[in-house]
Structure 1
Amino acid sequence: MPNYGDIHPAPFLSAEVTSNNQYYVVSKNLFSDPTVDSGGWHLTVDGDVDHPFTLSYDQLLALPMQKQYESMMCISNEVGGEYMSSALWEGVRLKDLLERVGVKPGAVKIVFYATDDYSDSIHLDKALEPTTLLAVRMNGATLPQNHGFPVRMLVPGIYGMKHCKWLTHIQVVTQDYQGYWQTRGWSDPAPIRMTARIDTPLIGSTVSVNKTTYIGGVAFSGNKGISEVDISLDGGDSWQIATLKRPLSNLTWVLWEYPWQPTSSGSKTLIARAVDMEGNVQDPQVEPPAPDGSSGYHTITVSVV
């Protein structure tokens, strides 16, 4: 069972929910992103289907909505990086639209097209999961322009490049499809690789000997949940179990902390690792973001005086 409990507020510890203006933003567009007028926007759903249709923004908003807390991470995020955030989203289930349109036998992928000529795809079984949404609201507000207004995809368990922003067209296809980033060498299935990040204390900071310092951060494993976060204070020779704050959903990161009272001065190395709800331990192998997402344990050094 996860070691759930209360955690202490600490400087630089991430919030459970990231505000819209602090939520990470990554875009292929070097100079400017699209500015979309919802009045003239339409979403077309077609391809290998029985009943293609087009929706206006108001028609989409009139459909049944689902709310869910979900964290997201960019595939280009380094170990310990900041391209990871969490929000409350609201939108229409893609499953509902696909049932309405009538997917023909033999369909294998769902392709997403955006206003800025971006495209990506997911497999049909992923599209039919009840948590795959067309998001129209973020943290209770209308989806901001820089996060894909009027509509973006939410696809829990895979990296953010699949969460297509400024969506205009959904196409059902019977063959493979390689999107914008896949044609540039990045992963197509793109499952999120488990990670634990140390937010506090900051790398290179100074803490006091014989006084309690709360080591804290976040851990995330896509849609697999986190059952445990371990902290090493001796270079990985031994591990201590951190306290977890119960997450807002099984799709979000979890906040964690460990009370540390160093008994000697000097330079100290702190390491964090996570375990998911299926019992898988985070991959210690250090790998760069390209092409499948980074891996390895987040490691920092602090000074004890």
Structure 2
Amino acid sequence: MAAGHLVAGLLTPASSPFVAVGDTVVRLSPQPVVEFAKAAFGTADKPVLLAGIAVLLVLGGAAAGLAARRRPGPGTAAVALLGVLGLAAVLSSPALRPVDLAAPLAALLVGLAVQRGLHRAARAAAASPPGAGRDGNGDGSGVGRVGRRSVLVGSSAAVALASLAAGGAGVALAASGRGIADSRTVLTRRLAAAALAETAPPVPASASFPGTVPFVTANADFYRIDVALQIPAVRAEDWTLRVHGRVDRELTLTMDDLLARPLVERTITMTCVSNTVGGDLVSTARFVGVELAPLLREAGVDPAADQLLSTSRDGWTAGTPTATVLDAGRGALLAIGMNSEALPVEHGFPVRMVVPGLYGYVSATKWLSELELTTFAEQSVYWRDRGWAERAPIKTQCRIDGPAGFATLPQGRVEVVGTAWAQPVGITAVEVRADGGPWVRAELATEVNTNTWRMWRAELDLGPGSHVLEARATDRRGLTQTEQRVDPIPDGATGWPSVLVSVA
């Protein structure tokens, strides 16, 4: 596996059989398993999955060694099976290229060679005479076979060190991003020097309250939910976007083409459909990019094409309602900048989609490579195939940021603070109550725009004992957040957020 990882690092990091097996597990896992992993491990679900695969590989290697104690056949078959599984995982990738086969084939061939070599060494050591000394001939002369224990320990240590070196080199090569860091630096400088056609208004200090999260989320803190175990590595200067399907004329765009278009900056809140009631899979950033609607109009959209199918560099797909993207008031973007720098690699560098008002799984494709005008009837996409809704407008929601659940508070007036969102219509009211009592209207922070979240705060008089605090939001349409609790699947969670606190 280390040899395969090394070759993948040299050629295409995503073709590592270790990573490919993980990707296959993600693609084939039943939806309840996927949701359990998100709920149990959050954004650490990918490292947990890879660690689990590593443990299974160690156990599989041990089983192969035990099976080969008397003859190599069973061990060879076990190693071959692991190699074939890695090869099959790479072959099943939706973004397969011929060069991707090099890594799993290297893993298979090296695995078989090492297993047979270790078996021959172990059998030779086992044939040494009983009572042989460290040198293997019993007389300490230094002539003859080495001891069996020395062979096993020495050869195992050598293989382990070689594996660590090869695997580490593969990790380092993949992490180097094949020039991605330099490409991001250059693009960041180009964005800084560009004249923006539209600049987002500064976020006023009154847009948040003490105790709430920062209004603009730092890139390092912005939530990340995707299925990529190996982040696609594409330099900005190598990136292209193909616009095709039900259009009058196909377009192929480069980064220079995008930068030559009017660039706009907008403050937008993005929300994940997997966000549970009161969850934190929601973040806000200042995105810089090119408006998507004019670009599609240049291609000439067939009126019957109700779906814009977007494809990621790794083959992941999403379907966005075409009418939403073409709505000039919605402001859909091909984003290339995020919070005064080029997009971070984990957030879609060099280009991603951002469509306000829709959950990310239908609107926010990262590492964008293709846009196809089609219909929902003609083509399905990744999450729709797994039971999620075809269209997913963001639901009016809020959460309580403070006090924290199970906090112990002093008696008297308690300040409750939180965040609410209802993109693209905006929040007009938030109410809070304790123990099912009367609702208290919260004070709202300054609204930045209707595509962003809104902070709120309220004060409640709480006596000694335990108290359940609840909140609900109302949007500009007059729709109030429903009390009914439903799970995120198929189109987003609902319910009132609540926390249990104690007053001493």
Which residue of 2 is the match for residue 94 of structure 1? Answer: 292
**Aligned partners of 1:74 and 1:159 also within 8 Å:** yes
- Whether 1:181 and 2:380 are equivalent positions in the alignment is no
Q: 1:79 aligns with which of 268, 277, 280?
A: 277
Matches within 5 A, 1:189-228: 189-210=391-412, 212-228=413-429
Instruction: Give 1:16 deviation, angstroms.
Output: 0.9
Aligned residues: CA RMSD: 1.6
Measure, in 2, the Cα distance between the counterparts of 1:72 and 1:64: 23
Matching residue of 1:64: 262
- Please say which structure displays the higher CA radius of gyration: 2
Is the alpha carbon distance of 1:250 and 1:268 closer, same or farther for their aligned partners in structure 2, counting shifts above 3 Å?
same
Q: Distance in 1 between matches of 2:314 and 2:380?
A: 17
* Residue identity opposite 2:500 in structure 1: T
Deviation sequence 1:182-204 (CA, Å, 0-9, x none): 10001110111111100011001
| Aligned equivalents of 1:221, 1:268: Cα separation in 2 | 28
* Distance (Å, rounded) in 2 between the aligned partners of 1:58 and 1:254: 36
User: Which protein, 1 or 2, shows the higher relative CO under an 8 Å CA cutoff with sep ≥ 6?
Assistant: 1
Equivalences, count: 296
CA distance 1:105–1:297, shift in 2 (3 Å): closer
Matched, 1:254 2:254: no
Q: Report which of the two has the higher share of strand.
A: 1
- State the alpha-carbon separation in 1 of the partners of residues 484 and 234 from structure 2: 42
Q: Which has more helix, going by share of residues?
A: 2
Contact 1:287 1:294 in 2 (8 A): yes
Instruction: Give yes or no for contact 2:472–2:497 (8 Å, CA) kept in 1.
Output: yes
User: What's the offset of the Cα at 1:221?
Assistant: 1.1
Partner of 2:5: none
2:148: which partner in 1?
Answer: none
CA contact (8 A) 1:73 1:83 kept: yes
Residue by residue, what CA displacement relative to the aligned partner does 1:225-278 show, whole Å, maximum 9, x if unpaired? 00000001132x31000001112111000000012342x211011000000001
1:136 and 2:336 correspond: yes
Counterpart CA distance in 2 for 1:277 and 1:126 is 19
Match of 2:368 among 157, 167, 175: 167
Structure 1 residues without counterparts, runs of 5 or longer? none
Distance 1:230 1:8 in 2: 17
Q: How far has the Cα of 1:219 moved from its partner?
A: 0.3
Quick one: structure 1 residues 238 and 6, their matched pair in 2 at CA, closer, same or farther if it must change by over 3 Å? farther
Shift of 1:213: 3.0
Q: Is the 8 A contact 1:48 1:174 kept in 2?
A: no
Q: CA deviation at 1:105?
A: 3.8
SS in 1 for 2:361: helix
Q: Render the CA deviation track for 1:116-169: whole Å, top value 9, x for unaligned.
A: 111111122111023111111111211111111111111111101121111011
How far apart are residue 8 of structure 1 and its match?
A: 7.7
The separation in 1 between residues aligned to 2:280 and 2:466, in whole angstroms, is 25
Q: Is the 8 A contact 1:7 1:257 kept in 2?
A: no
Q: 1:87 to 1:7 in 2, by over 3 A?
A: closer
Matches within 5 A, 1:9-158: 9-11=209-211, 13-29=212-228, 31-130=229-328, 131-158=331-358
- Distance in 2 (CA, whole Å) between partners of 1:61 and 1:149 is 15
Distance in 2, Cα, partners of 1:145 & 1:260? 44
Residue of structure 2 equivalent to 1:232: 433
Tell me: CA distance 1:299–1:232, structure 2 relative to 1, closer, same or farther (3 Å): same
Q: Given the two structures, how large is their TM-score scaled by the length of structure 1?
A: 0.93
Q: Contact conserved, 1:10 with 1:214, CA < 8 A, in 2?
A: no
Identity, in percent, stands at 36
* Displacement after TM superposition at 1:104 (Å): 2.7
User: Which residue identity is paired with 1:209?
Assistant: Q
Task: Tell me by how many angstroms 1:6 deviates.
Answer: 5.3
